[in-house]
Amino acid sequence: MNPESECKISYYYTQEWNRCYYQLDEGKNLNPNDLPKLEEKYLFVDSGEHLINDDMDLVFDPKQEVLYEPSLYIEYEMIYSSKTFIKIFQKKIKELIDSDDNNIDMDTDIDEADLWDELELLYHSRQFFNDLGYLLECNDFVKIEESDDNSYLWFTSITGMNVGEAVLLFEEI
């Protein structure tokens, strides 16, 4: 890629949550302060994405059923552009290759996971772009599109989030 080119960076990520209780977002304008506290049997060790009132209580919509699924898959899509990313990223990779401290065997194929591990960057995270920009000191990311699966009002998970699939694509524009 031409280091002087602007690029589009697309990040697609799926999180898997196990043993989940949840309610669907039915598009109502609910005020969390008017809702009752979530029952104990649905509470797990801070795992999931909660509906919280001003008193920091987890609450729910009493007018709809609480549902259960063995696994929930939540998809995120983030697309950004940058005029400096290619140049900065290529420089960082070259520094990594030239460093005596890297753990990458240049005689074998490396994959993205090896690179992110070497850079100590959590690849499977909604904070990926923030962390990547901070690591590379790239401060010109411009959001083109960002979306997530907003179909849940709230959910809890007994086992926490499992690392899902993540795909990162670069394209010159």
Task: Assess contact for 168 and 121: CB atoms under 8 A.
Answer: no
> What are the tens digits of pLDDT across the range 56-74?
999 999 999 999 999 888 8
> What are the tens digits of pLDDT across the range 88-139?
999 988 888 787 776 666 566 666 767 777 777 777 677 888 888 898 999 9
pTM value is 0.70
